A = this chain, B = another copy of it.
């Protein structure tokens, strides 16, 4: 598959940080950045940009929950490279101090992605507008549309469609619930309500379909693709960047640096934190559930592999 407009966004640190409260070593974040430079990915998202508060401290929540300019620069300056991907950060509606965001030309950040549930789409659009006014590229990532009431989702999409300040609208399979036919169906809805918007796709791997659904999204016209190194991300994780780069066959990409950082950093990391497909996440995805219950099950060593019990619990008549 080769299409010139296709762009790949590496969100390894941002989605992976949901597993360990963004407590990655600087060495790992630098290595991921180096891999992004060397492999030619278009954009790298290095974390969230939340507001520090008494409750949300850098000590407790890890520096990549806040992505201060100095931290980002420390990473960027750690590697000499002719090619550099754009730097993205993520906003969560309600947990951001947008007044603290500097103009894009004074910041290492190039793109601000705003994540929201359907009900908060207007707030997210407002944040995207203000980010755009400051010179950033912008995206709106509506989470968990698979669990939204269709008419609510349609209304939200109409609002995004009217907002010229939103560069990309994302279809996000938060629960890993979609088969390829649902990817197509939802993308058709997104295109119908936002005919002039470039689309992005963000998959989760609950049913071993993150990579396959990303291919489906490409076929359906999506041009901005999220992926993570080794599929690292919350719960069942995401689309594996290395598999995706192999698939894309675009000469601008080189997969070898991704395998290099996997061998050197992710193989040991897999001993410390868990992500990726397993039976429990498979059930959770099939049932279109928030991964909360599945993550709780996986955190308890006594029951973490009790998939029959988990299925019974999730499907019990009340």
Contacts and interface: CB of A to CB of B under 8 A. Distances in A.
Contacts of A209: 211-212
A312 interface: yes
Contacts of A308: 256, 259-260, 262-264
A306 interface: yes
Contact of A256 (B179, B263, B267, B312): B312
Contact of A263 (B205, B260, B305): B305
Interface stretch (A62-70, A157-165, A279-287): A279-287
A235 to B, nearest CB: 15
A33 to B, nearest CB: 17
A279 B230 contact: yes
Interface of A: 1, 179-181, 205, 207-213, 215-216, 230, 240, 242-243, 246-247, 255-256, 259-260, 262-264, 267, 277, 279, 282-283, 286, 305-309, 311-312
A182 B43 CA distance: 29
A243 B208 contact: yes
Given A180-B215, A263-B308, 18 more contacts: A1-B179, A1-B181, A179-B215, A207-B211, A208-B212, A208-B277, A212-B215, A230-B279, A243-B282, A255-B311, A256-B308, A256-B311, A259-B283, A259-B308, A262-B279, A263-B305, A263-B307, A267-B305
Nearest to A212: B212
